[in-house]
Amino acid sequence: MTFALFDAPSAEPSQFVGFAGNRIDRQSENRADDCVEKALADPRTRLMLLGDGRICLKLDGGTFDPWYGLAESEAFKPRLGEAVLLGFDASGPILAASAGIGADDLPATVKAIDYRSVYMQGLIDAAALGALAQGAALLAWNASHRFCSKCGHASETRAGGYRRHCPSCGADHFPRTDPVAIMLTATREKCLLGRSPHFAPGSYSALAGFIEPGETIENAVRRETMEEAGIRLGRVVYHASQPWPFPYSLMIGCFGEPLNEDIQPDLGELEDCRWFFRDEVRQMLAREHPSGLVTPAKGAIAHTLIRAWVENGI
């Protein structure tokens, strides 16, 4: 029996973005308060070592290895009391922990590389990059929520890092995921791209902004597009999402249907914003634009949105 809602192609667009390849079995329903302690007593446990927005990667021949055994990790003085449990794979439990030594003190065979470079340069496989998104976001949330937001008392980690408990007032606090809408406004012929002053030279991308409390995804897309470009949107359609550990966001990619053409860019946010016809965007994707204009690189959800529009005419 088929159900019309699920008649779409089976390949989810979200599968094709960076940070989306996590294969860890989270076993979220089984997270006891002592699950990290149990993992630390299990000789099969492997962990990722993070710190200051970087991951410690072992140089192994010509490739990078992000995984450490417990004994192997001791040289890096991991802060195991604040480790988080990512879950399990066929070989056992998987943790993430902050390294206790600085990048300057690492052995020559280990490099501390910032998350963005690891992602942009494809230094680790898709599954490990997905695990990095989980571990980086969870460690960052715990590190920035050490005190109870109700009473100010120091809170304690629970459930493998997925909850913080306040022993003073009894409140429980849970990890945040901050939703960001990223949207490609497009007709059949052209799409709207803009560039912020901090973008790489020649780079144009889809517009984006945080979804606010009490707002639907669709209304956030309409509001941001109006604020940044002066374009009113009609229909808004969800396309794909991307975990984004800077520090703990979820990018929600949508297409929007424009109702007017006259762009009024918010020059406080964008230094340029204009319509691009399909052939020009195809050149930008292929890095063949005569003026050197480019789209974000493969792996970025903006790239996924732009490529879907160019290739499929969505």
Q: Which spans of this chain sit near Zn ion (rule: CB under 5 A)? A: 148, 150-151, 153, 166, 168-169, 171
The nearer residue to Zn ion, 115 or 141, going by C-beta atoms, is 141
Identify the sign of the CA torsion 14, 26, 178, 65: negative
DSSP labels, 209-271:
EEPPTT--HHHHHHHHHHHHH---EEEEEEEEEEEETTTTEEEEEEEEEES-------TTT-S
Instruction: State in angstroms the smallest separation of the CB of 303 from Zn ion.
Output: 43
Q: Are 176 and 248 in contact (CB under 8 A)?
A: yes
The nearer residue to Zn ion, 117 or 168, going by C-beta atoms, is 168
Longest dimension (CA), the chain: 63
The nearer residue to Zn ion, 170 or 292, going by C-beta atoms, is 170
Query: What is the H or E stretch that residue 47 is in?
Result: strand 46-51
What does the alpha-carbon distance between residue 274 and residue 204 come to, in Å, rounded to a whole number? Answer: 10
CB count in 10 Å sphere of residue 197: 9
The nearer residue to Zn ion, 168 or 264, going by C-beta atoms, is 168
Residues 183, 294, 212: CA angle, nearest 5 degrees = 20
Instruction: State in angstroms the smallest separation of the CB of 175 from Zn ion.
Output: 17
The nearer residue to Zn ion, 172 or 311, going by C-beta atoms, is 172
